[in-house]
Amino acid sequence: MTITYKDAEGIAGMRLAGRLTAEVLDYLTPFIKPGITTNEIDKLAHDYIVDVQKAIPAPLNYTGGGNKPYPKSICTSINHQVCHGIPNDKPLKKGDIVNVDVTVIKDGWHGDSSRMFLVGEVSIAARRLCAVTYDAMWHGIKMVKPGIHLGDIGHAIQKFAESQGFSVVREFCGHGIGKGFHEEPQVLHYGRPGTLEQIKEGMTFTIEPMINIGGKDIKEGPEKDGWSIVTKDRSLSAQWEHTVLVTPTGYEVLTLSDASPPIPAFVPAQV
Ligand code: MF3
Ligand code: CO
Ligand code: CO
């Protein structure tokens, strides 16, 4: 597969899909409290996407990467789960951190975004991990403009995350996105400046760093469901994700909404 460049019609489609994706996360936010199960969150997301947004939850039955069909509409990854946690009937408990990853298809276009949620009061370390991972994502986003290299994005994320004493997961990356859920290019969250492909106007891709408090290594989750991934040392892991468009002068984040967390002060305003 090759990189797809979006024209005006594609950009309009991606803007709508991106906004709907963010609005699902806004909608879910007040429900994410101690006692709710991830299956209940999944059902809320599914029904909102299908009944209110008249859209499609992309993960449901997704088989990308040669996996068996994904059985739910969102991914929910708790504590030491790194990504692709499958919702289940276990209630969230006070002190958990949970990533909710939503991908919506509207008129054939995909929006993909995830946020961290703190369940009740959480430890200082967990809160710091979530905050640093959010900033790490934005350190990557702020690099985006035509002519920079994909390695510049990865380097910015890795440099910041490691400066805070955390590690970057290597096995999963951001991705091109459009009519396809996972398109080229791969957007690594580590790397060296000036390496890899140059990015160009009209590209749309995700930036979605997974950052661990302990070591960078991961393994298959104990559920052996073919999806869930955990840290090898069982340390906490966090992730945030946005979908971005490369504009003539920089970027536009497509998965923002009214209740998105504020953009960090270190990110220069886009003109
Ligand atoms: N939303 C994830 C991503 O950011 C992919 C999930 S694939 C699924 O790329 F099948 F597990 F949903
Ligand atoms: Co993604
Ligand atoms: Co995602």
Q: Which atom of ligand 1 is nearest to the CA of 206?
A: 4
**At residue 66, does pLDDT exceed 80?**
no
How does the average pLDDT of the chain come out, rounded?
Answer: 97
Domain ranges of the chain: 8-253
**At residue 270, does pLDDT exceed 90?**
no
Distance from the alpha carbon of residue 146 to the mean position of ligand 1, in angstroms:
26
Q: Is 181 helix (H, G, I), strand (E, B) or coil?
A: coil
CA 72 to chain centre: 17
**At residue 78, does pLDDT exceed 70?**
yes
**Please, what's the largest Cα pairwise distance for the chain?**
48
Q: What is the pLDDT of residue 64?
A: 85
Q: What is the pLDDT of residue 197?
A: 96
Cis check for the bond before 185: say yes or no (omega within 30 of 0).
Answer: yes
Q: Which atom of ligand 1 is nearest to the CA of 84?
A: 11
Q: What is the pLDDT of residue 128?
A: 98
Nearest CA to ligand 1 atom 10: 59
Q: Which of 62, 73, 104, 205 to mutate to test the pocket of ligand 1 (most atoms within 8 A of CB)?
A: 62
- The confidence band for 67, taking pLDDT boundaries of 50, 70 and 90, is confident
Between the CA of residue 269 and those of 18, 157, 256, 265, what are the distances in Å? 20, 19, 15, 9
Give residue-wise pLDDT tens across range 244-258: 999 999 999 999 999
Mean pLDDT of 134-140: 99
Nearest CA to ligand 1 atom 4: 112
Angle at 232 between CA 59 and CA 154, to 5 degrees: 65
Distance from the alpha carbon of residue 271 to the mean position of ligand 1, in angstroms:
32
Nearest CA to ligand 1 atom 2: 101
Per DSSP, what are the bridge partners of residue 230?
81, 219
Instruction: Tell me the percentage of the chain whose pLDDT exceeds 90.
Output: 97
Q: What is the pLDDT of residue 254?
A: 98
Q: Specify the CATH architecture of the domain 8-253.
A: Alpha-Beta Complex (3.90)
Q: What is the 3-state secondary structure (H, E, C) of 110-154?
A: EEEEEEEEECCCCCHHHHHHHHHHHHHHHHHHCCCCCCCEHHHHH
**At residue 180, does pLDDT exceed 90?**
yes
Q: What is the pLDDT of residue 65?
A: 75
- Expressed in angstroms, the distance from the first to the final Cα of the chain is 33
CB within 6 Å of ligand 1 — which residues? 59, 62, 70, 75, 84, 101, 103, 112, 206, 208, 227, 241
pTM above 0.95, yes or no: yes
**At residue 1, does pLDDT exceed 70?**
no
Distance from the alpha carbon of residue 157 to the mean position of ligand 1, in angstroms:
20
CA 265 to chain centre: 21
Give residue-wise pLDDT tens across range 154-170: 999 999 999 999 999 99
- The confidence band for 40, taking pLDDT boundaries of 50, 70 and 90, is very high
Strand order in the sheet with 251-253: 183-187, 174-176, 204-207, 242-246, 251-253
Distance from the alpha carbon of residue 131 to the mean position of ligand 3, in angstroms:
18
Distance from the alpha carbon of residue 50 to the mean position of ligand 2, in angstroms:
20
- The confidence band for 171, taking pLDDT boundaries of 50, 70 and 90, is very high
Instruction: Tell me the percentage of the chain whose pLDDT exceeds 70.
Output: 100
**At residue 97, does pLDDT exceed 70?**
yes
